[in-house]
Amino acid sequence: MNRTIIILLLLSQISFAQTVDRIEWNFPKNEELKTKNSITEYNEFDFSNIWTLTENNNVLGIIGKEHQRLKIKLISVKKKPNNPNEYFVSGKSCVKETICDFNGTIKLTEIKEVKEFHFGVDDEYSDKGIKSQGILIADYEFKENSEQKHSGIFKGKLYSKWYLNSENQIEYDNIEFISDGYINNAFVGIWKSYSTGKEKESNWADYRVPKTNRDFDIGAGEFSPSEKYYDKGWSDYKPMEIDEWWK
């Protein structure tokens, strides 16, 4: 089999793939991470600030197979004093015109450090005194107010990139922010209706949606929804829009 045929076969396999998972593209791979789960070594540190830092217009989400636009705002995240790996969360969700309050938890399950630090373009962070870098994996469950219309429960896995600065503080890892397809704080899971028990896929993250239909996000360097999904709430999306819908 010659090279041209092999390339055509690979391209055909890619074109028939149903989804694109940006966690696989933009998060450290297993071989780039230390095997040890260092969660106990980070009990003293507070990760809460990394989940509320990003401007909400850049927190992008979908719900359902049709990729209806989902807006999520984490208003408050606080580390529980009696459990170093659990955080209490309050916030709001918005789908179409329906806004719901929710409360819930983020429970850290794994913290993996990278084997080699990354310092960004031209190694601009090489002299910042970074002590460690890595990813965290957590379980989340956010319960919407059952007295509100069309409410339910969000639950799934959370993936976040972080680093420990020279002052022993956990920082949001935006070192590679200018790279194509940058993503962080990826929430991947489902939403389950209180009234019907029906489950829908529900994913959101900073700057990109972590797991979507391959034809949904047609942007190269940054997020851009396809016109095919404009009627699902994406027609008026603007990356610089200021819409404090949760207030």
- The model's pTM is 0.91
Tell me what the pLDDT averaged over the chain comes to.
Answer: 91
> In this structure, are residues 23 and 159 in contact, taking their beta carbons and an 8 Å threshold?
yes
pLDDT of residue 246: 96
Burial 135-170 (b: 16+ CB within 10 A, else e): bbbbebbbbbeeeeeebbbbbbebbbbbbbeeeeeb
Q: What distance separates the 2 farthest-apart alpha carbons in the chain?
A: 63
pLDDT in tens, 142-189: 999 999 999 999 999 999 999 999 999 999 999 999 888 899 999 999
Indicate whether 199 pLDDT > 90. yes
Query: How far, in Å, CA of 209 to CA of 215, rounded?
Result: 12
End-to-end CA distance of the chain: 61
Rounded Cα gap, residues 182 and 92, in angstroms: 24
Mean pLDDT check: name the lowest of 1-15, 51-65, 153-167.
Answer: 1-15
Residues 98-128 have pLDDT tens digits of 999 999 999 999 999 999 998 887 778 888 8
At 9-42, the pLDDT tens digits run: 344 344 344 789 999 889 999 999 999 999 999 9
| Closest of 95, 53, 103, 50 to residue 72, by C-alpha | 95
